[in-house]
Amino acid sequence: MLDAALFESIAEDSPDGIVLVAPDGLIRFWNRTAEAMFGYGRASAVGQRLHELLLHRVADEDRQADEQPPSAEAGASSFDTVARCADGSLLYVNVASRPLHDRHGQFVGEVYNLADVTQLRTRRDAQLLDARFRDLLDSMPDAIVVVNDIGRVALVNRQAEGMFGYAARDLVGAPLETMLPERFRAGHGRHRERYMNKPHTRPMGQGLELYGQRKGGEEFPVEISLSPLRTDVGLFGLSAIRDISERRRVERALEEKNVELERANKAKDRFLATMSHELRTPLNAIIGFTGILLMHLPGPLTLDQEKQLAMVQSSGKHLLSLINDLLDLAKIDSGGMQVNLVELDCCALVEEVVTTLRPAASSKGLELRTALPPAPGLVWGDRRALQQILINLTNNAIKFTDHGHVDVFVQADRDPDGRDVIRLGVSDTGIGMSPQDMAQLFEAFTQVGNPNQRASIEGTGLGLYLCRKLAELHGSRIEVSSEPGRGSRFWLALPAATAVQEGVA
């Protein structure tokens, strides 16, 4: 038999990993160098099969040979392979094996010499890559890191040295995980191996949220693009790395500012809602008592008193209208306004609005007309919201029309998809608008047109903005056509109630 004591004393002092495999293919001896090299203690290794413990990525012919139990006929062999350590890391290993016989010539197993050639091979590859690609990679704006198929750094450019704080000589041969925060290292090896098994180009910014770690331990966010680099000495992975610390800082600042703005916006909405209610109560009282005085119920008024009270009443109604608009907008912007959709006759709604506003049109010498279809224009809508839209559009038409007429119309039509719709709108013969004016027409607090023309016209620029918001609550939009000096036409289209009932809309 083999002198076990003599074998072990010799093998323990070897600089290589020495492994004795019995004829049944199981490990019988595992020296201290193998323990240090691969991270498996002797107790864990003995009784295992060598290829199952370490040699996961040998070539097919080598695997086939290694998976067979040693035999007396097997001769000495040598090959390079990749071995997996206990911590999951990979090494390039030169494997030399030879059969063992006792002094009687009896075959007793096979001895393996396992030499770690990772640094040797990585340095060789690094020299080749440096000679071929150094000038090109140093000219790149991003940090470039090239790794081999076991995750060891083979080349870095100047930008990578500056970004991570290492000299190139300190990184070449080191695991790529050296450049990652500790908490990401264990899982990164699996991601890297999957990529190297199926290499493909991955653009910058895709994939996981990633971080790098500088030499001093500072973490920083990065974006990485990956590309396979195929050479005559093997496959490498090329990473272009971008430090996005400044961008993240700006994003955080914007997020914080957005939170502040949202908080301020909610406070504004609460303030508007509260103050609008507080102001409406005394205003209603002023308007109401002014109306009583103008009706001469308490007694006769002089002509001057009646004129002054009429101005008070008009100003109060104008202020109340503004407050109502502000309150509605605060509700819409805060999501507090809900539309109550019921079946409405648009023709009846138009008649009501025209009756209310005809005195205002008559005071300017304008004819306020209706253009209605013979059949009722039935839609599903919120009565108050549609009435508000019509009132605002008609009021605007009266304000900006000095001669001619204002028409409030209802039209049955079909939309581009062939669905029945009812168009509800207002047209006038007023001053009209330019395309530039129409582009900003529906923004809040915006008034368009000639400033000299606007000077004598009351308005805050909220009416059309409110109309737009109320139309959007119905899933519609305000359309407009206009030409300077030739009047304007505003309308919105709503699904006809019959189409909705039939499931067409």
- Looking at the predicted structure, is the pLDDT value of residue 453 above 70? no
- Mean per-residue pLDDT, 452-476: 74
Residues 228 and 290 in one domain: no
Q: Model confidence at 449, in pLDDT bands (50, 70, 90)? A: low
Please give the angle made by the CA atoms of 300, 301 and 306, to the nearest 5 degrees. 140
Query: Which among 311, 313, 318, 397 is positioned nearest to 354, based on CA atoms?
Result: 397
Is the pLDDT at 280 greater than 60? The verdict is: yes
Are 221 and 290 in the same domain? no
| Res 69: pLDDT | 55
At residue 299, the pLDDT reads: 85
Here the CATH number for the domain that contains residue 308 is 1.10.287.130
Look at residue 450 and tell me whether its pLDDT is greater than 70.
no
505 versus 372: the higher-pLDDT residue is 372
Q: What is the biggest distance separating any 2 CA atoms in the chain, rounded to whole angstroms?
A: 143
Q: Is the pLDDT of residue 279 over 80?
A: no
Residue 194 located in a structural domain? yes
Tell me: do 385 and 359 sit in the same domain.
Answer: yes
pLDDT at 120: 92
pLDDT above 60 (res 456): no
Label residue 455 by pLDDT band (50, 70, 90): very low
Query: First and final CA of the chain: distance in angstroms?
Result: 94
Closest alpha carbon to 155 in 141, 139, 180, 137: 137
Q: Is the pLDDT of residue 96 over 80?
A: yes
Residue 49 lies in a domain: yes
Label residue 3 by pLDDT band (50, 70, 90).
low
Is the pLDDT at 421 greater than 70, yes or no? yes
Domain containing 190 — which CATH number? 3.30.450.20
CA-closest candidate to residue 273, choices 316, 321, 336: 336
Determine the pLDDT at residue 313. Answer: 83
Is 112 in the same domain as 135?
no
Phi first, then psi, for residue 208 (nearest 5°) are -75, 160
pLDDT at 64 exceeding the cut of 50: no
pLDDT value, residue 505: 40
CA 497 – CA 135 distance, rounded (Å): 72
Last residue of a domain, one of 314, 333, 352: 333
In a shared domain, residues 222 and 296: no
Question: 453 with 347, same domain?
Answer: yes
- pLDDT for 1 beyond 50: no
The pair of structure tokens assigned to 191 is: 């991601």
User: 374, 347 in Cβ contact below 8 A?
Assistant: no
pLDDT classification of 2: cutoffs 50, 70, 90: low
Does any domain span residue 251? no
Provide the number of structural domains found in the chain: 4
Instruction: Determine, yes or no, domain membership for 462.
Output: yes
pLDDT tens readout for residues 129-157: 999 999 999 999 999 999 999 999 999 99
pLDDT of residue 448: 61
Amino acid code (one letter) for 455: A
Indicate if the pLDDT at residue 59 is higher than 50: no
The answer to whether residues 240 and 159 touch, using CB atoms and an 8 Å cutoff, is: no
Do 401 and 447 reside in the same domain of the chain? yes
Q: What does the angle CA 26 – CA 27 – CA 30 come to, to the nearest 5 degrees?
A: 175
| Whether the predicted pLDDT of 383 surpasses 50 | yes
Let me know whether 188 and 294 are in one domain: no
Q: Which of 90, 116, 142 is the last residue of a domain?
A: 116
Does 281 map to a domain?
yes
Residue 282 pLDDT: 83
Residue 70, helix vs strand vs coil: coil
Would residue 249 count as lying in a domain? no
Q: Residues 449, 464: one domain? A: yes
Contact indicator for 491, 410 with CB cutoff of 8 Å: no
Whether residues 86 and 126 share a domain: the answer is no
- Domain identity same for 210 and 62: no
Global confidence as pTM = 0.54
Mean pLDDT, range 313-320, rounded to an integer = 80
Instruction: Answer whether residue 503 shows pLDDT above 60.
Output: no
Q: Are 177 and 188 within 8 A, CB to CB? A: yes
pLDDT value of position 240: 94
Residue 485 is part of which domain span? 342-501
> Which H or E run contains 125?
helix 118-138
pLDDT at residue 291, rounded to an integer? 86
Lowest mean pLDDT, pick from 117-126, 283-292, 391-400, 439-448: 439-448
Considering the domain boundaries, does residue 468 fall inside one? yes
Q: Which of 94, 116, 138 is the last residue of a domain?
A: 116
How many other CB atoms sit within 10 Å of the CB of residue 60?
7
Residues 84, 150 within the same domain = no
Residue corresponding to tokens 């607090």: 445
In whole numbers, what is the pLDDT of the chain averaged over residues? 85
For residues 392 and 353, is the Cβ–Cβ distance under 8 A?
no
Listed in sequence order, the residues at least 6 apart from 272 whose beta carbon sits closer than 8 Å to its beta carbon are 326, 327, 329, 330
Instruction: Answer with the residue of higher pLDDT: 472 or 318.
Output: 472
Tell me the CATH number at 466.
3.30.565.10
**Residue range 159-217, pLDDT digits in tens:** 999 999 999 999 999 999 999 998 888 888 888 888 888 888 988 877 667 899 999 99
Residue 248 placed within a domain: no
- pLDDT band for position 310 (50/70/90)? confident
Query: In the predicted model, what is the mean pLDDT of residues 1-11?
Result: 68
